[in-house]
Structure 1
């Protein structure tokens, strides 16, 4: 039996001006049902974001990214989602929305360690 399990992931993108269609990758969400894991890691390149929109609400973007990490962590930081299972929290976070911080399309892969995969994808696709 393989020690690798299917996981799903989506990038978190900051879209400061929707009408221009430009975005900056700012994080990654990972869900692995077999391991009951949902996690998010974020990294905001503020200089890059300010190059797209000098008037972007940086404190608001930072707060939105922290909120996503909180929902993934569960507990008090997750607010109303605290009682939801990891899959439900992931599905709620990847639902399309028209805010400055948006999830990208969902992709899949195989991993033996979803937490390490979260870090790997952050380094590969965001930093």
Structure 2
């Protein structure tokens, strides 16, 4: 029996970097909840973000967590990702520079996780996949 191999069209995949955004209601305890994903795709010059404020999970870790403050921090991250005037001092920075700034280690209630890499055909679809798998 002869099997014919069908040639698949070449799919162009490009590198991307991503990091989880974590809420750590009590930094001294180190317990965290994933609240978002940042994704930087250099070849498209894109910095994407998707966030979620899981109030019940955060309150389970610390009944006194400042939910309004966490929400404001997430909105700030979204503004920096969007660029423009809403990004404040980072407005003139490239998407890569803004990604590096957002993923710099910090001891705060909202902080980035480690940066990971991958290959993708579609950065937006990759963001949605990561968000569904790691946050939602």
Alignment correspondent of 2:64: 55
CA–CA separation in structure 1 for the residues paired with 2:130 and 2:80: 19
Alignment correspondent of 2:123: 114
Alignment correspondent of 1:45: 54
Select between 95-104 and 75-84 the one with higher mean Cα deviation.
75-84
CA–CA separation in structure 1 for the residues paired with 2:64 and 2:83: 32
Identify unmatched segments of 5+ residues in structure 1: none
Runs of 4+ in structure 1 deviating by more than 4 angstroms, as ranges, are: none
Alignment correspondent of 1:24: 33
Task: Give, in angstroms, the shift of residue 2 of structure 1.
Answer: 4.5
Task: Give, in angstroms, the shift of residue 21 of structure 1.
Answer: 1.3
* Larger Cα-atom Rg: 2
Alignment correspondent of 1:9: 18
Give the number of the structure whose residues are more often helix, by fraction: 1
- Deviations 1:96-124 (CA, angstroms, capped at 9, x unpaired): 01110000001111111112211111111
- TM (norm. structure 1) is 0.96
Identify unmatched segments of 5+ residues in structure 2: 1-9
CA–CA separation in structure 2 for the residues paired with 1:118 and 1:67: 19
- Deviations 1:41-89 (CA, angstroms, capped at 9, x unpaired): 1011110100000000000000000100110011121111111110000
CA–CA separation in structure 2 for the residues paired with 1:67 and 1:39: 13
